[in-house]
Amino acid sequence: MTPRVLVSDQLSPTAVQIFKDRGVEVDYLPDLGKDKDALLAVIDRYDGLAIRSATKVTEKLIAAATKLKVIGRAGIGVDNVDIPAASRKGIIVMNTPFGNSITTAEHAIALMFAVARQLPAADVSTQAGKWEKNRFMGVEITGKVLGIIGCGNIGAIVATRGVGLKMKVIAFDPFLSADRAAHLGIEKVELETLFQRADFITLHTPMTDKTKGIIDARAIAQMKDGVRIINCARGGLVVEKDLAEAIRSGKVAGAGVDVFETEPAKESPLFGLENVVCTPHLGASTEEAQENVALQVAEQMSDYLISGAVQNALNMPSISAEEAPLLTPFVKLAEILGSFVGQVTEDPIKAVEIVYDGAPGAMNTRALTSAALAGLLKPLMQSVNMVSAPLMAKERGIIVSEVRRDKSGVFDGYIKLTVTTEKFSRSVAGTSFSDGKPRFIQIKDINMEAEIGRHMLYTTNHDEPGVIGELGTVCSKNNINIANFHLGRNAKGGDAIAMIYLDEPVDDAVMAEIRGLKKIGQAKLLSFDV
């Protein structure tokens, strides 16, 4: 039966033709996405739904979509799609994460020029016949320090443009390697150093718990007087009221803002301030970018509906139906091992080695490695998935290697993941038993067998009496229940670790108290999707 796709938002005619040329029946109804009741009434007729941002794919809509197999978003953001609901229904959600990278990077550069030379205000003044030549004294770009927060795909393009403009480019990105920075011709720095040195700061990092509000009053206080700030990434990265106050005080000389904490932005503390250039989320708004993402989503959806090929899926690993029963438990294991290392490692990662011993070595290790990298990168890049993780690692200069070998231990098969940073190497190994549940079997070369819990407190210490007692005292005092725990050490009086299972996550104050215990080395609260 011929698959049928609904296009409910504006999409290029060329993209619509791609569906037809690939043998997919397509209904192009670009205004239907704005009418949720009308869309709800017809959605059960379609195998695929192609959208932009106007269509809201809610849990209610997904429940009514009895035939739907794939949702394709022409663009990056999928805030308008209930991905958990789609996953539960077995619907693949795809996006086109790289189709508008150049466009967004160019918009950031354009805003930098506009702020540096006060172009919008000068235009309004001149067209009003005022000729206020002395009022609009700008600054040169050449020779200035450009600080880039987030040097992934878009940030790297901005970096090369900045180098071409003869700027001194510095970047903060936990996943940017020294080799990658050298290749781009830029300097990798810590965030505080970037704040202290940059004349212009531009943000190109995803929104995560760690990056939300990354520019606030505290951060601005560390910056140079007269700094100029550009944000074409996500509105919540910048605390608008803090930036507005800094502009009014003169600490910040200007800002270019394309994204806002609340959108559509009908009001903002930044509106009306002198030398603040605001645009209505235009980062991806060029003819080329809109065409690129439209063509890509049509190709991806057609490939899936006709041949089953999956590209840029946000909620599905690339696993065939034949290998799924054996592979799926090890995919989960690989993701958890990566997540463990990603949560306990704060230094930039240079290399990742994954050893597949025994049974996993005979499997689709490409899928397993993608799962491990997705888990590793997710603590800082929440939108990363099995499809995008290998590319994200490559862009950040992380060297990834696989080793397959025959069974060498007591387990039928296991996976060992080792990351290398500038300062150390850290490893974790795990296996999956017949029950399909993943388990840790070694951490930092210390043998231990531990199931994976949703909330786990991981600590390191020198092996000596009283450590667990102190941890238990802190938890008891704060009414925190310990469900279980596992201990391990490499030798009597040597290095030791503990994995403590908690019913609920603990707050920052309790974690600070735990880290303050004299006998505790590292202490991390870990969360796993189990």
Catalytic residue among 107, 204, 234, 426: 234
* DSSP category for residue 143: T
- The whole-angstrom separation of Cα 258 and Cα 99 is 18
pLDDT in tens, 379-419: 877 767 776 688 788 888 999 999 998 887 778 889 999 99
- The whole-angstrom separation of Cα 417 and Cα 369 is 10
Q: Please, are residues 179 and 397 in contact by the beta-carbon 8 Å criterion?
A: yes
In the annotation, is 281 catalytic?
yes
User: Which residue, among 118, 168, 177, has the nearest Cα to 148 in the 3D structure?
Assistant: 168
Angle between helices 508-515 and 467-477 (to 10 degrees): 150
* DSSP category for residue 491: S
For position 232, what pLDDT does the model report? 96
**Contacts (Cβ under 8 Å, ≥6 apart) of 79:** none
For position 290, what pLDDT does the model report? 86
How large is the C-alpha radius of gyration of the chain? 26
Around 351, how many Cα atoms within 13 Å sit in the side-chain half-sphere?
A: 11
Catalytic residue among 263, 323, 464, 504: 263
Q: If the chain, 530 residues long, is cut into consecutive pieces of 10 residues, what is the mean pLDDT of each piece?
A: 94 94 96 94 97 94 94 88 83 86 95 97 95 93 98 94 98 91 96 98 90 96 98 95 97 97 94 95 89 93 85 70 73 94 90 93 87 90 73 87 86 92 90 85 90 90 86 88 87 88 88 88 87
Q: Please, are residues 395 and 156 in contact by the beta-carbon 8 Å criterion?
A: yes
H helix intervals, 185-285 = 191-197, 217-221, 240-249
Question: Where does residue 165 rank: exposed (0-12), middle (13-18), buried (19+ CB within 10 A)?
Answer: middle
- The whole-angstrom separation of Cα 80 and Cα 56 is 5
Cα-Cα-Cα-Cα dihedral sign, residues 420, 506, 149, 260: positive
Q: Which pair of tokens denotes residue 249?
A: 């005080």
- The whole-angstrom separation of Cα 478 and Cα 305 is 53
Residue located via tokens 């490893």: 427
- The whole-angstrom separation of Cα 415 and Cα 429 is 6
For position 504, what pLDDT does the model report? 85
For position 323, what pLDDT does the model report? 66
For position 168, what pLDDT does the model report? 98
Q: Please, are residues 334 and 368 in contact by the beta-carbon 8 Å criterion?
A: yes
CA angle 271, 275, 278 (to 5 degrees): 45
Strands 455-462 and 425-432: unpaired
User: Which residue, among 415, 419, 466, 472, has the nearest Cα to 438 in the 3D structure?
Assistant: 415
For position 424, what pLDDT does the model report? 87
H helix intervals, 232-284 = 240-249
For position 100, what pLDDT does the model report? 84
Catalytic residue among 180, 204, 281, 426: 281
Residue located via tokens 């596992």: 486
For position 325, what pLDDT does the model report? 74
- The whole-angstrom separation of Cα 57 and Cα 49 is 9
User: How is 42-61 classified by DSSP, letter by letter?
Assistant: HGGG-SEEEE-SSS-B-HHH
In the annotation, is 263 catalytic?
yes
Q: Please, are residues 259 and 234 in contact by the beta-carbon 8 Å criterion?
A: yes
E strands, 303-452, in order: 349-358, 399-405, 413-421, 425-432, 438-443, 446-451
Q: Which pair of tokens denotes residue 373?
A: 């990298």
- The whole-angstrom separation of Cα 104 and Cα 158 is 9
Q: Please, are residues 303 and 311 in contact by the beta-carbon 8 Å criterion?
A: yes
Sheet containing 92-94: which strands, arranged edge to edge?
25-28, 4-7, 48-51, 70-73, 92-94
H helix intervals, 10-128 = 13-21, 36-42, 59-64, 83-88, 101-117, 119-127
In the annotation, is 366 catalytic?
no
Number of Cβ within 10 Å of residue 318's Cβ equals: 15
Residue located via tokens 């106007």: 54
Q: Which pair of tokens denotes residue 202?
A: 């531009």
Q: Which pair of tokens denotes residue 301?
A: 């959806």
Predicted TM-score (pTM) of the model is 0.70
